[in-house]
Amino acid sequence: MEEKQFQEILVKRYLANALSKEELDVFFRFLGEGKLDAELHRQLDEESGLEKRPVQPLRSGRWTVLSPTFRIAASVLLVIGMAYFAWKHNTFQLFANTVSVATGKGERKEIKLPDGSVVWLNESSSMEYPAHFEAHTRKVTLLDGEAYFDIKRDESKPFFVEASGTTTRVLGTAFNIRSYHFLKSILVTVTRGKVEVQKAEGGPDKKVLLPNEQVCYDVRTRQIRKVNVNSVNAVAWKEGKLLFDNESFANVIAILENKFDVKIQAEGSIREYHMSAEFASTDSLPRILDLLSLANNLEYRIENNLITLVPKKRPI
């Protein structure tokens, strides 16, 4: 196929909004090189009938009224101009379709990304990703909640996850991010490969993680610290487990409040406890409270939707 014929087909498919992602890359590269100007103007003129009938502006008093065909052509050119600007400044993702996924309570979803990577979304979570990744990068946003990412390796196209003030960068690996809005910290845990975590605004404070390492980002202080963990525990939710691994009681309370739609009150000293426990996702709230109270020498009472936890009184 001759180049001129190829350009003609390319422009025609663009105006019909029928180009694939790869064809769009070629289209904007040719457009930037000025190779499509003549063909683009010819087809625009042809579609609007300007070749057959020149458009004359109609004057009414102080105002100039343009014919409908001229307005259509101008609108199309405006869209092309905006797209060209975006392509030149590497912001074409603004024009791409965005896919939004969310889960409810007790619901988990498996998501296949455009590059073949897989994401498992935990309950009460939401994320966004483009229908087509850019030419040189892959980026998704974990809006709220928790997700496990198994990323297809592509050294020419790094993968980024943005979550509540953090950016996680990988080439191809598996890791978990917990970023619920009701918790005061974000956890990134690696199960395979290597990841790099830093604050979303950048800066020198980057943490490189290997398997069984975890980064904790404090939302209030914006400090990042790295610790060693058992990564299996961080992804136990995928198997339908509710697992707490040296978790602060304050976090346990927040997680139970969100899961069961209740309000839990506890004395300040209790909220500072740290605990480890494992439950099935189907366990009832009373069963969980019974076991937590037994293990931590507590007692609780339930009044309507309010649960109060207090230290167990010693017998006299």
Residue 51 has pLDDT above 80, yes or no: no
CA pair distance 174, 155, nearest whole angstrom: 15
The reported pLDDT for the residue numbered 27 is: 74
Could you tell me which residues are beta bridge partners of residue 127?
101, 142
Q: What are phi and psi of 304, to 5 degrees?
A: 55, -115
24-33, 57-66, 95-104 — which one is most confidently predicted on average? 95-104
Task: Tell me the three state secondary structure of residue 17.
Answer: coil
CA pair distance 248, 276, nearest whole angstrom: 9
Residue 53 has pLDDT above 90, yes or no: no
Domains of the chain with bracketed CATH: 3-95 (no CATH), 98-233 (2.60.120.1440), 240-311 (3.55.50.30)
* Residue-wise burial string across 179-207, b where 16 or more C-beta atoms lie within 10 A, e elsewhere: bbeebebbbbbbbebbbbbbbeeeeeeeb
Residue 85 has pLDDT above 80, yes or no: no
Instruction: Summarize pLDDT for 86-109 with one digit per residue, the tens.
Output: 444 444 444 448 999 999 999 999
The reported pLDDT for the residue numbered 259 is: 94
Could you tell me which residues are beta bridge partners of residue 112?
118
Task: Give the DSSP letter string of 251-311.
Answer: HHHHHHHHHHT-EEEE-HHHHT-EEEEEEETT--HHHHHHHHHHHTTEEEEEETTEEEEEE
**pTM metric for this prediction:** 0.69
The reported pLDDT for the residue numbered 238 is: 96
The reported pLDDT for the residue numbered 225 is: 93
The reported pLDDT for the residue numbered 2 is: 67
Q: Which of 1-5, 41-45, 144-148, 154-158 has the lowest mean pLDDT?
A: 1-5
Residue 200 has pLDDT above 90, yes or no: no
Instruction: Summarize pLDDT for 210-241 with one digit per residue, the tens.
Output: 999 999 999 999 899 999 999 999 999 999 99
The reported pLDDT for the residue numbered 171 is: 87
The reported pLDDT for the residue numbered 265 is: 95
Going by their DSSP bridges, the two strands 58-60 and 63-65 should be labelled as: antiparallel
Share of the chain above pLDDT 90, in %: 57
**What separation in angstroms does the CA of 77 have from each of 18, 45, 287?**
17, 11, 65
